[in-house]
Amino acid sequence: MLSPDALKKIDEAVAKYPSDQKQSAVMAALTIAQDEKGWLSVETMDFVAQYLEMPPIAVYEVASFYTMYDLKPVGRHKLTVCTNLPCALQGATLAAKHLKDRLGIDFNETTPDGRITLKEGECMGACGDAPVFLHNNKRMLCAMSPERLDQLLKDLD
Ligand code: FES
């Protein structure tokens, strides 16, 4: 279900916790699984549950609670907009609308060419640099004015 490389990374995450608390590595395991598969299908979550010896429902609960996990396929580039209050007050709502208009999609949708998915996220801990975006869960983008978003859209493949 997952590659030997992914399983090795999960084993490394599991090793950080006491041997009877493998489930503590569930967030790391889901991230590793999603990085490899692109999104988290029920089959992938069931595999993670079995691997960590925990009930599947407990894995579903984690995967469905945090916005960085995708329970359906996403585009090559996932742009997550922080819409919490500090970012909203600094232009995140306008920035999100700008992107929606440019891309012709709403939150949780993907452009027809499979290039970009737009998602809504929670505070990313960089409120002073609002509006804050996250690219593919890995790269934080700060002070994203409409002009900077236009440049970003040009730069993405
Ligand atoms: S409110 Fe957006 S990063 Fe904190």
Res 6 pLDDT > 90: yes
Is 123 near ligand 1, meaning CB less than 6 Å away? yes
Cα 54 versus chain centre, distance: 23
In the sheet that 139-141 helps form, which strands lie side by side, from edge to edge?
A: 109-110, 116-121, 77-82, 133-135, 139-141
CA 119 to centroid of ligand 1, rounded, Å: 14
Mean pLDDT of the chain: 96
Atom index in ligand 1 nearest the CA of residue 126 equals: 3
pLDDT (mean) for 16-35: 97
Res 57 pLDDT > 90: yes
Of 36, 156, 128, nearest to 139 (Cα)?
156
Res 68 pLDDT > 90: yes
Atom index in ligand 1 nearest the CA of residue 83 equals: 2
- pLDDT at residue 36, as a whole number: 97
**Which residue among 67, 68, 80, 82 has the greatest number of ligand 1 atoms within 8 angstroms of its CB, and so is best to mutate?**
82
Res 157 pLDDT > 90: no
Atom index in ligand 1 nearest the CA of residue 85 equals: 1
CA 87 to centroid of ligand 1, rounded, Å: 5
Regarding pTM above 0.85, the answer is: yes
Give dist(CA 120, CA 118) in Å, integer.
7
pLDDT (mean) for 116-137: 95
- Cis bond upstream, residue 131 (ω within 30): yes
The band of 1, judged by pLDDT with boundaries at 50, 70 and 90, is confident
Res 77 pLDDT > 90: yes
pLDDT (mean) for 93-103: 96
